[in-house]
Amino acid sequence: MAAVTADDVVRMRDQLFFEGPLTKRKYTRFWMLLLLSGVIATAGVISDSTATVIGAMIVAPLMTPILGIVLAIVLADKPNLLRSVGMVLAGAAAVVFLAWVFGHLAAVPVDSTTSTQVAGRIHPRTVDLIAALATGAVGAVALARSDISDTLPGVAIAISLVPPLAVVGLTLEAGATSEALGALLLFGTNVAAILLSGIVVMSIYKVAQRAEKAKEHDHKRTGAVVLIVAAVVVLFVPLSITSRTIAVQSLRSTTINDVATTWAEAADWRVADVSSTNDGYVVLVRGSGTEPDTADLQAKLDQEGLADVKVTVELVPEHRVELGPGRG
Q: Does 269 fall in a domain?
A: yes
Same domain, 205 and 265: no
Is 191 within 8 Å of 119 (Cβ atoms)? Answer: no
151-184 pLDDT, tens digit each: 565 666 667 899 999 999 999 999 999 999 999 9
Same domain, 205 and 257: no
Strand arrangement, sheet containing 281-287: 269-276, 281-287, 311-317
Q: Does 45 fall in a domain?
A: yes
67-120 pLDDT, tens digit each: 999 999 988 888 999 999 999 999 999 999 999 999 999 989 999 989 999 999
Same domain, 138 and 19: yes
Q: How many domains does the chain have?
A: 2
Same domain, 115 and 206: yes
pLDDT of residue 295: 92
* 3-state SS, residue 201: helix
Same domain, 155 and 27: yes
Same domain, 269 and 205: no
Distance (Å) of CA 179 to CA 84, 100, 154, 158, 320: 28, 14, 27, 22, 40
Rounded-to-integer distance, Cα 37 and Cα 28, Å: 14
Q: Does 230 fall in a domain?
A: no
Q: Does 219 fall in a domain?
A: no
pLDDT of residue 185: 93
pTM confidence score: 0.81
Q: Provide the residue range defining the domain that includes 28.
A: 6-211
Q: Report DSSP state, residue 2.
A: P
Rounded-to-integer distance, Cα 143 and Cα 198, Å: 10
Neighbour-count burial of 196, counting CB atoms closer than 10 A to its CB (0-12 exposed, 13-18 middle, 19+ buried)? buried
